[in-house]
């Protein structure tokens, strides 16, 4: 137990207490919203959600402190094969009887561990090791030229392998998109030339043109179609936009709009508290931002985004002061992870992005998500604890 005491002592002396405070503030706001969003549930389901989320936050603080004490660079350098095996192996567990999903989405996202109080989402947890390994790869390639074709293909191959693994094992395209955005943020920060991003955009556009006729009638693709049609003002698909595939987002937009500037008041949201079929779906997970908009209005939404924005900016601040390019890339990778999830989730709720099942970090209900976020921020704290001193950083800007 001495190492735990040493970890706590080191954190209190040098850890990023501001980042932890921001994470706790955001998680506390999330608990307030989850309580309101689960009041409609029958029996004790709502109480269980609150207990699970609270326990996950408390455990997350403990994980944050422990991760702060680790030398992530040393661990990655010495154990990169184990980290890769862990990321692949935990996703492959979805093929075992432990894996399960939701019938309404068709995804197979979760692991049910006997005796463990919460279910685990492998792709969520594997983001931690993915960022560490990609940062290690980029830092190694920088010595030879990170924009060389061989370097770019190696980095892209690692990312495409993980994305393909997630799609095959779970069918979770939203999580696959998050990995893709993390890759873009990290390679951009790592110095990959802009021409590679332009080439990737052209290749993706060409792939969409070729593949679209064969998949446009699939239910998942219709989620994209209704968003595009709505943005273009296509009234020919109005029924799909309001009552069909776009029904969930339509309810979300109505909830946010009805909140106005200051909202309807806590526990007084019309859709949030409704038991009817016209109520807000997935209100404690994917659509929790709409709960905030309905009950706290624009002011509440701005406050929520300010908290999450503060966490992202703190990660960038730590990256700018990191002791090495590898540590800086890890911090930027976790900033990219937050940017991806916040942007996609809020875009879903505002009906400008299709529904892909991405939760709002620190806010939405979910034990795996909370633990992953606190662990990631704990790693950022460990990078801050090992930052370069001011007098040295001024002469060695990363």
CB of 324 within 8 A of CB of 22?
Answer: no
- Please tell me whether residues 37 and 109 are part of one structural domain: no
CB of 358 within 8 A of CB of 175?
Answer: yes
- In a domain, residue 297? The reply is yes
- In a domain, residue 239? The reply is no
- Please tell me whether residues 205 and 308 are part of one structural domain: no
- Please tell me whether residues 274 and 366 are part of one structural domain: yes
Q: How many domains does the chain have?
A: 2
Q: How far is CA 211 from the centre of its chain?
A: 27
- In a domain, residue 114? The reply is yes
Residues of the chain with pLDDT under 70: 1-3, 100-107, 117, 215-217, 236, 388-398
- Please tell me whether residues 306 and 197 are part of one structural domain: no
Domain-ending residue, one of 165, 194, 215: 215
pLDDT of residue 1: 65
- Please give the biggest Cα pair distance in the chain: 67
What's the domain range around 172?
89-215
- In a domain, residue 112? The reply is yes
- Please tell me whether residues 398 and 251 are part of one structural domain: yes
- In a domain, residue 230? The reply is no
- Please tell me whether residues 60 and 188 are part of one structural domain: no
- Please tell me whether residues 398 and 334 are part of one structural domain: yes
- Please tell me whether residues 263 and 330 are part of one structural domain: yes
Domain-ending residue, one of 169, 195, 215: 215
- In a domain, residue 74? The reply is no
- Please tell me whether residues 99 and 197 are part of one structural domain: yes
- Please tell me whether residues 53 and 121 are part of one structural domain: no
- Please tell me whether residues 94 and 22 are part of one structural domain: no
Kindly provide the b/e burial profile for residues 26-44, where b requires at least 16 CB atoms within 10 angstroms of the residue's own CB. Answer: bbebbbbbbbbbbebeeee
- In a domain, residue 77? The reply is no
d(CA 183, CA 189): 10
pLDDT of residue 397: 46
The pTM score is 0.92
pLDDT of residue 383: 95
Kindly provide the b/e burial profile for residues 68-89, where b requires at least 16 CB atoms within 10 angstroms of the residue's own CB. Answer: bbeebbeebeeebeebbebbbe
- Please tell me whether residues 98 and 174 are part of one structural domain: yes
- In a domain, residue 228? The reply is no
Domain-ending residue, one of 197, 215, 233: 215
Tokens read off for 320: 């700018």
- Cα–Cα distance list, 309 to 33, 54, 185, 313, 336 (Å): 18, 22, 16, 6, 12
């Amino acid at each position: 137990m001495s190492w735990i005491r040493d970890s706590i002592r080191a954190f209190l002396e040098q850890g990023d207490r501001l980042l932890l405070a921001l994470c706790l503030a955001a998680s506390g706001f999330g608990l307030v919203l989850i309580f309101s969003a689960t009041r409609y549930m029958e029996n004790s389901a709502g109480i269980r959600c609150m207990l699970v989320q609270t326990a996950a936050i408390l455990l997350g603080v403990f994980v944050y402190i422990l991760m702060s004490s680790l030398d992530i660079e040393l661990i990655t350098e010495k154990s990169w094969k184990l980290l890769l095996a862990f990321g692949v192996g935990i996703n492959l567990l979805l093929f075992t009887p432990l894996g399960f999903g939701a019938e309404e989405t068709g995804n197979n996202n979760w692991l049910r561990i006997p005796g463990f109080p919460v279910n685990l989402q492998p792709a969520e947890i594997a983001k931690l090791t993915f960022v560490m390994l990609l940062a290690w790869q980029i830092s190694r390639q920088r010595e030879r030229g990170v924009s060389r074709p061989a370097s770019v293909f190696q980095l892209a191959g690692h990312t495409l392998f993980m994305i393909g693994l997630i799609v095959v094992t779970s069918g979770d395209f939203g999580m696959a998109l998050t990995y893709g955005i993390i890759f873009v943020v990290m390679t951009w920060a790592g110095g990959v030339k802009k021409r590679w991003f332009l080439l990737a955009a052209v290749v993706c556009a060409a792939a969409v043109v070729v593949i679209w006729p064969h998949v446009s009638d699939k239910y998942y693709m219709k989620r994209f179609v209704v968003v595009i049609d709505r943005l273009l003002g296509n009234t020919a698909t109005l029924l799909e936009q309001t009552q069909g595939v776009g029904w969930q987002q339509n309810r979300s937009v109505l909830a946010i709009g009805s909140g106005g500037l200051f909202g309807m008041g806590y526990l007084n949201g019309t859709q949030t508290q409704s038991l009817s079929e016209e109520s807000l779906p997935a209100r404690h997970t994917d659509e929790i931002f709409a709960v905030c908009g309905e009950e706290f209005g624009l002011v509440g939404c701005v406050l929520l985004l300010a908290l999450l924005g503060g966490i992202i900016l703190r990660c960038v601040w730590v990256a700018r002061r990191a002791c090495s390019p590898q540590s800086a890339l890890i911090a930027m990778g976790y900033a990219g992870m937050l940017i991806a999830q916040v942007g996609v989730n809020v875009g879903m709720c505002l009906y400008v992005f299709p529904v892909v099942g991405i939760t709002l970090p620190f806010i939405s209900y979910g034990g795996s998500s909370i633990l992953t976020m606190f662990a990631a921020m704990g790693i950022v704290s460990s990078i801050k604890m090992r930052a370069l001193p001011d007098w040295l950083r001024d002469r060695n800007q990363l």
